[in-house]
Amino acid sequence: MERNWTQLAEFFLQGITDRPEIQVPLFLVFFSIYVITMVGNLGLIFLVLKDPHLHTPMYLFLGSLAFADACSSTAVTPKMLMKFLNKNDMISLGECFSQFYFFCSSATAECFLLVVMAYDRYVAICNPLHYAVVMSKRLCVQFITVSYLIGLLLASIHVALLFRLTFCNSTVIDHFFCDLIPLYTISCTDPFINALVLFIFAVFVEVSTFMSIIVSYIHVLFAILKTKSKKGRSKAFSTCSAHLVSVSLFYGTIFVIYVISVSDTENYQGKLYSLFYTVIIPLLNPFIYSLRNKEVLGALRKLRK
């Protein structure tokens, strides 16, 4: 029996909550977070570009991570802010797919940038005499380029697969941005292939990059334990623990969303977890990675003079 399905052209984003009395307070909170996020990440990029002392592999990677955070936050937050003010509840099919594309490419690139940052610390601490040779400027540019190319490629595959779906029953996306799993739940077409590809890519990207980061930091921690300077050991432990907290939050929430939840789309409850990797992590990263960094703080002081 053939079904006469009509593709929907617009969706209604339900947002974080539909309680009218807290829409304005939530707008103020998330607007403040977004401003701080953009100032922190774009400010860090500006410092890295402006100060010659920061033209080293570690800060090139840090600036690239800040750019990815700024992009992922910008892909999601402005539309969410408009929803709080009831200015624009609707999003077209093209806008929906574009929003996910830019977010997915940035978030995926961030996974691989975190790997190369961990590898950079591994080389710097475990093999310092050969650091300048191993971490050449050419290799750093290649690492950054490949990270973003992988992000763009995987996002393109996910969006291309979205075009095989038909949306005809419901116009309501129960989320604050166009994420894959909420789209699968309102599809009239069986999203099994989409969900399978999402699961495979998520497991491959997350497991491979997370394990690479952990292995790098294990080597770093062993190298730190061998150092005789208590002050240097304490500083290195503090820096590594802060980095690992950020990595754990990022990977933990993404794993829950794209690996665990994808197998149970009917009971998908991902708004709170999604807030962590779309809003909170981009806010925290520039401060986690640079707040205790003497070179970044020195560059900031020179800029203020």
Q: What percent of the chain has pLDDT over 90?
A: 44
Q: What angle do CA 176, 180, 213 make, to 5 degrees?
A: 95
pLDDT band, residue 70 (cuts 50/70/90): very high
pLDDT on residue 86? 75
Q: Looking at residues 182-191, what average pLDDT do you find?
A: 88
Are 98 and 13 spatial neighbours (Cβ–Cβ below 8 Å)? no
pLDDT on residue 7? 57
User: What 3-state class would DSSP assign to 12?
Assistant: strand
pLDDT on residue 267? 43
- For the chain, the average pLDDT equals 85
72: left (phi over 0), alpha (psi -120 to 50) or beta: alpha
pTM of the model: 0.90
Higher pLDDT, 130 or 241: 130
Structure tokens belonging to residue 211: 């394990």
Q: How far apart are CA 96 and CA 257, in angstroms?
A: 19
Higher pLDDT, 216 or 305: 216
pLDDT on residue 287? 85
Domains, the chain: 10-304 (1.20.1070.10)
Q: How far apart are CA 185 and CA 191, in angstroms?
A: 8
Pick from 156-170, 229-243, 289-303: least confident: 229-243
